[in-house]
A = this chain, B = another copy of it.
Amino acid sequence: MATPTVSATRTARLVGALVPGRPAYQALADALRHAVADGRIAVGTRLPSERELTGALDVSRTTVTRAYAVLRESGYLASRRGSGSVATLPAASRRRGTGSLFPADPAEGVIDLTCAATRAPGGVIEAYERAVARLPEYLCGAGYLTLGVPELREVIAERYTRRGAPTSPDEILVTSGAVAGLGVVMRALLGRGDRVVVENPTYPNTVDALRRGAARLVPLAMDPDGWDVPEVVRTVAAAGARAAFLIPDFHNPTGALLGDDGRGRIARALRAAGTVPVVDETIAEVCLDDDAALPRPFAAHDAHTVSVGSSSKSHWGGLRTGWIRAPHAVLPGLVESRVTTDLGAPVLEQLVLLELMRASPGLTDERRTDLRASRDALVTGLRAHLPDLAFTVPAGGLSLWCELPEGVDATAVAIVAEDEGLLVASGPRFSVAGGLDRWVRLPYVLDPPTMTTATERLARAVATVAGGHGGGAAAARTARHRPSRPLVA
């Protein structure tokens, strides 16, 4: 296989203006190192020759020579005979796995589409470096920030205000991600046996956590492309529930977006029933189409809303940082619940998120462009290889929610797909009340060629199951297969 290359012009664009006040070769080496580290220059790519790069940048040849030498010394560049200078990483260059018990990390060549979350965006390493530079301000304290770094709470509040829900920083509690935030809310608001309205399908960990807390779940049936608002209003009125756990922004797994009118009507129904809206906004910033009419946050429609957000989809899951936005009256109870959950989010991750949100409150343009390309590759591949698959292309979010042809069982497809080198999550994983046997969720979080390959593998698995081959073996393996792989996103 030919070594992939990056042109001198593109390299120069990635490098951008060199940071002034430092030796030029160091600034250039840093910029290139960051681009390799965060994947804007993929590992294994041949960099332009020193001469070419000198031509494309406004620097001397010596500067480029010294920068490349620094990169070689620090393990970010290797000289290969016949391939010139190739980008590398200092330690293992392969993706690090989850360390999961079950199963071992996907084997080489297996495409894992069970996780609707992406790699880190460009700029993350710089944000970590800037955050470390600010850390000394916090080292003389014990490191417990129960409510969160004040500046981060300000930036999060500003994002709500800008989106149409005026918010003050003291309505924000920083958490260790959205799942931790939802847990804090559950323990603060719910008692044993309380009725809770929850969309069906929905994010499985919310259902599991509600069940562990002994809530009684009232499923809210979703159409494949969103909410049947009159039906939601009827269910809410009949349920008399303590709380409703909703994902109105690019709902997981359907990708549907609830408009302002629907939000208003559902909010009024919840108020009338005395039901607290608990809104998971993890995916709210993952809008991919410029012309999508973005509704206001649910909290703008009902001041009693408790909103739970996360940086995992807008920025990176490895930060494990999220937040709760709650009315002043509710916050003290949440803080008490939080202190028995964990004592605070790590200081540094909060400073990193502060840096990232200041640079871009939501998705970066680069990330949006990449996700669109992956979504397009998935849609094109599915239409080519699986013309009988039904789905609505969502304006945002990270996955397609797809209906298999009549008589094709999604869990059987998921099991057979494993033998084809493809991991997918089938409908029943997202079901509150059983069923959804013909649905699969397909995240478009990997690069376009991989998405295309995934559709080919999925098509083979569907053909096998539809042709009656593998269904028996699949059924036999279902029981031990299903509960064994935690689905994180």
Report which A residues bind B (CB closer than 8 A). Answer: 21, 36-39, 73, 89-93, 95-102, 115, 117-120, 124-125, 128-129, 132-150, 153, 170, 176-177, 179-180, 183, 187, 192, 205, 208-209, 212, 214, 312, 316-321, 331-332, 335-337, 339-349, 352, 445, 486, 488-489
Q: A139-B39, A332-B102 are in contact. Are A144 and B346 (CB under 8 A)?
A: no
Residues of B within 8 A of A183 (CB): 340-342
Q: A176-B320, A176-B342 are in contact. Are A115 and B144 (CB under 8 A)?
A: yes
Q: A39-B139, A147-B99, A332-B101 are in contact. Are A343 and B115 (CB under 8 A)?
A: no
Which residue on B lies nearest to A33, using beta carbons? Answer: B136
Q: Are B340 and A37 in contact, CB atoms less than 8 angstroms apart? A: no
- With both chains docked as a complex, state the minimum distance between the C-beta of A347 and any C-beta of chain B, in angstroms: 4
Q: Sort A-B residue pairs by CB-CB distance and give the 6 closest, nearest first.
A: A143-B318, A143-B317, A37-B136, A117-B142, A99-B147, A120-B139
Which residue on B lies nearest to A126, using beta carbons? Answer: B132
Q: A179-B341, A342-B177 are in contact. Are A144 and B488 (CB under 8 A)?
A: yes
Could you say how many copies of this chain the assembly holds?
2
Residues of B within 8 A of A180 (CB): 176, 180, 341-342
Contact of A147 among B98, B141, B179, B331 (CB under 8 A): B98
Compute how far the CA of A134 lies from the CA of B21 in the bound complex, rounded to whole angstroms: 26
Q: Are A340 and B118 in contact, CB atoms less than 8 angstroms apart? A: no
Q: Are B99 and A146 in contact, CB atoms less than 8 angstroms apart? A: yes
Compute how far the CA of A39 lies from the CA of B137 in the bound complex, rounded to whole angstroms: 10
Residues of B within 8 A of A344 (CB): 98, 320, 488
Residues of B within 8 A of A145 (CB): 96, 98-99, 318
Which of A97, A119, A340 is packed against the most chain B CB atoms within 10 Å?
Answer: A340
Q: Are A146 and B486 in contact, CB atoms less than 8 angstroms apart? A: yes
Compute how far the CA of A140 lies from the CA of B341 in the bound complex, rounded to whole angstroms: 30
Identify 12 residue pairs between A and B in the complex whose beta-carbon atoms are under 8 Å apart, listed by A's number: A89-B137, A119-B139, A125-B135, A125-B136, A142-B445, A144-B317, A176-B176, A176-B320, A179-B341, A192-B214, A209-B340, A343-B489
